[in-house]
Structure 1
Amino acid sequence: MHTITVIVPAHNEEEGLPATLESLARETVPPDRVLVVDDASTDRTGEVAAAHGVTVLRPPRNLGSKARAQNYALPHCTTDLVLAVDADTVLAPDYIETVLPVFDDPSVTVAAGTVRTRHTRTVWERGRSTEYLFGFHWHRPIQARANSPMVCSGCCSVFRRADLVAFGGFPERTIVEDMDYTWSQQIAGRTAVYVSDAVALAADPEDLTYLRKQVWRWMAGFCQNVRLHLGALIRRKPLLALWVTLAVLEIVTAPLWWATPFALAALTDRPLPATLGWWAGTDLLLTAPPLLYAARRRGLRTLAVLRDLPCVYATKAVNLVYAWKALVVELLLVPLGLSKGLTVYEKGRADTPAAQPTAAGRERAAQAISAGRAGRPAGAVADAS
C-alpha cells in the first residue's frame, strides 16, 4: 500500500487556500500528511493553514519560486509518494485514489490527471477553459498512448519520492519545474503517466495582466527546456522529441495561419469577410470535435462549451506573442549571451483578496468537480462562477 504526503506551496493565499485544504480533507484515500509551505506571506496564510490541522512550514525568507518552496518541504516527507498541489487548485474527491494504482508499476516516477478551470467568469478564463478541454482530450491522450507525455501538470502531480530525492528535488534551473522533471525522467528511462480520470480544478488568470505573466512564464520555461533537453530527447526519447519539435514548429508557423485570410483577400478577388469566414470555419472544424468529446466525457453542457470557443482566440493571441518572445529570448539571445532569460517567478494571479474565490465560490467549485467526475450534466461548471 502506498503512502503519500501533500506539499502545498503558498504565498499570500489566505483566501484561496481553504478550498485546496478542504478538497484534500475530502479525499476518499486521505493523504498521510499535508505540508503547507507559508513562503513569507504577508497575509494570514499560515494561520489559515494551521486552522485546518495541517503542518505549516515557514522559511526564514521568501524563497522566490514554487520549486524552492517545494524543496523546502521535501526533507519533511517520509512517505513513498509526494503530491504537489498548488494553493489555488481543488482536487476531485477521488484524485489520490485514482492516481495511486499507476505507481504499482515500479517504472512510473511521476503522474498527473486532467486539469480544468475553476472559474469561467472572464474572456481569459473562458479561453483557458477551452484550451484545457482541447489539450487534455486531444494532445494529452495521444501523447499518453505513445508513452511520451509532454508534461505532468505541476498543480497536481504525484511523484515517487525516492526518484525525486535522487534527482536533487524539484528542479530549480528552469522557470517551469514540472516540464523539466517530466522530460528529465523520461530521458533517464523512467515513465511519466497521464491519468485522465483524475480531475483537478485550477484557478487561472482572470485578467490580461496576470494572463500575460503566466503565459510568459510558461512559454519561456518551455523554451528553456528545449534549450536544455532537446538533444538528449532526440537520442533517448524520440517520440517526445517529436512532440516538442512540432510544438516549436507550431509557434513558428502560427503567424502564417493567422495571416492566411488577409493574404487570400489581398491575392484574390474575394472580399475579406469571405476569407475570414472560410478561415474561421476551417479552424472550427479542426477544434470542435475534441471539444464535443470533452463535453461528453466530462458531463458538460455542449452549448456552454461551444459558447466559450470564441474566447480561445483572445488567449491564443496572447500565447502567440509570448511564444515568439520566448523563442527570441530563450533560444536566440540567451545562447548568444545577450540575455539571462526569465529567472524571476511570477504568479499568474493577484495576491489581493479580490482575486480570490468566496466561500460560496469554493462550494460551487466542489459541486462542479464532483459533477464532472461523476459524468452527470454539469453545465453549471461554466456558469456558476
Structure 2
Amino acid sequence: MPESALRAVAVLPVRGHAALLDGALRALAEQTRPPDEVVVVDDSPEPVLHLDPPVRVVHSGGAGPYAARNLGVAAVDADVVLFLDARSRPRPTWVERTLERFEDPSVGIVGSDTLVRGGTSLAERASEVQQFSRLDKYVSAPFFLPYLPTCNLAVRRADFDAVGGFSTVRSGGDADLCWRLQRATGHRMDVVDEVLMEWIPRDRARELLEQNYRYGRSHHGLRREWSDRGLPVVDPLPTWRLAARSTRAALRFVGSLPLGADSRAERFVPLAGACFDWGYWVAHHRARTGRSTRTTSPAGTAPPG
C-alpha cells in the first residue's frame, strides 16, 4: 500500500519523566513512516525541556496531562493526531499501520494492542502480569463503550476539534474523549489487533499502587459523568468486605516473600486491585458528601486547585 498522504502529528506530554523521553523519541524516529511532526508538551510548572529540531516543544506550565495534550494539538496542523507518552515505545510500523486505517473515511479513532514490558523490580513484574493496556480491557470486553488509552491512540483532528478536545481531568480523559467522539461524529473506532506498542511500567511498588488508586477514583468519576447517558453508578464494596479483601491480599503477598520473584509479582497484583477498589470507594463517599474527587474543566484549561 502506498504511503498515506494524511498529515500525522505525534503529541507527547511529559512531566517528571524526562529520562524516559529519549526512548520514545528514538522509537518515533525509527518508524517506517515517521510522523510529519513530533510535539513534546513540557507540562512542568517551569520550562525544563529544550530539545533539538525537528522535535518541537510546547510549554503548558503544569496544566495537567490532558490540558497539555490539548495545547499540543492546538499548536499544529494535522489530519491525524497520534497520542503517546514518555513510557510508550511504538514498534517500527506503528504510524504506518495506524494511518492505513484512516484511509477509510468512516473511521475516526484507531489504536492497536499495547504490551506492558516487564523488568527486574516488583512493580515492573507485577505490571507485566497485570497488562492493564491490552485490547481486551478496552475494546473486546469494555465496561461501557469501547475506548483506547492515550499511550496508544490516534484520532482525526477535525473530530477532536469538533468535540472540544480532552476534558482536563487527572485520569480517565481517554475514555471520555473516545466516547464523546463516537457519540458526536458518527465515526467508528478501528483497531489493529496486533501489538504495535510497548509500554515501560513504573519501577516502584508505591507508584503502581497509587496508579491503581487513581484509576479507581477516575472510574467512579466517569460513571458519575456518564450516568445520564447509560453508564450506571454502582455502589462500591461494603467497607468491611473491602477491608477483608485487602487484608487477605496483603497476607498472601507477605506469604510470597520467601518465594521467587514471579510468585511475589503475581500476589502483588491483587494488592493493586484493592487500591483500585479503595480509590473507587473514596470517590463514591466523597461524592455523596459533596466532595467530588473529579473536576472537569472546559477543554484547554486546568481544573481548579
Q: TM-score, normalised by structure 1?
A: 0.63
1:153 to 149, 153, 157: 149
User: 1:129 — aligned with what?
Assistant: 128
Aligned partner of 1:176: which letter? Answer: G
User: 2:273 — aligned with what?
Assistant: 319
Aligned counterparts of 1:14 and 1:174: Cα–Cα separation in 2: 19
User: 1:330 — aligned with what?
Assistant: 283
Name the SS for the 2:148 alignment partner: coil
Query: Residues 255-334 of structure 1: matches in 2 within 5 Å?
Result: 308=262, 311-326=265-280, 328-334=281-287
Aligned counterparts of 1:31 and 1:8: Cα–Cα separation in 2: 12
1:210 to 207, 221, 224: 207
Contact 2:110 2:189 in 1 (8 A): yes
User: 1:238 — aligned with what?
Assistant: none
Evaluate the alpha carbon distance shift between residue 11 and residue 142 of structure 1 in structure 2; reply closer, same or farther with a 3 A threshold: closer
1:184 to 180, 183, 200: 180
Name the SS for the 1:334 alignment partner: helix
Q: Deviations over 1:275-331 (max 9, x none)?
A: x9xxxxxxxxxxxxxxxxxxxxxxxxxxxxxx84762331222222332332x3333
User: 1:110 — aligned with what?
Assistant: 109
Report the alpha carbon displacement of residue 342 of structure 1 after superposing the two structures with TM: 4.9
Evaluate the alpha carbon distance shift between residue 112 and residue 193 of structure 1 in structure 2; reply closer, same or farther with a 3 A threshold: same
User: 1:287 — aligned with what?
Assistant: none
Evaluate the alpha carbon distance shift between residue 116 and residue 329 of structure 1 in structure 2; reply closer, same or farther with a 3 A threshold: same
Percent of aligned pairs with the same amino acid: 23
Aligned counterparts of 2:104 and 2:193: Cα–Cα separation in 1: 17
Contact 2:213 2:278 in 1 (8 A): no
Aligned counterparts of 2:267 and 2:295: Cα–Cα separation in 1: 28
Evaluate the alpha carbon distance shift between residue 309 and residue 108 of structure 1 in structure 2; reply closer, same or farther with a 3 A threshold: farther
Aligned counterparts of 2:59 and 2:104: Cα–Cα separation in 1: 35
- Give the length in aligned residue pairs: 277
Q: Which runs of 5+ in 2 are unaligned?
A: 253-260, 297-305
More displaced, 161-170 or 34-43?
Answer: 34-43
The alignment status of 1:164 with 2:173, answered yes or no, reads no
User: 2:62 — aligned with what?
Assistant: 62
Evaluate the alpha carbon distance shift between residue 325 and residue 57 of structure 1 in structure 2; reply closer, same or farther with a 3 A threshold: closer
Report the alpha carbon displacement of residue 123 of structure 1 after superposing the two structures with TM: 2.0
Q: TM-score, normalised by structure 2?
A: 0.78
Name the SS for the 1:170 alignment partner: coil
Q: Deviations over 1:52-95 (max 9, x none)?
A: 63111224x322x1111111111222111001110221110111
Structure number with larger C-alpha Rg: 1
User: Counting helix residues as a fraction of each chain, which structure ranks higher?
Assistant: 1
Aligned counterparts of 1:119 and 1:179: Cα–Cα separation in 2: 25
1:32 to 29, 36, 45: 36
* Structural RMSD (CA): 3.3
Q: Which runs of 5+ in 1 are unaligned?
A: 235-240, 263-275, 277-306, 345-385
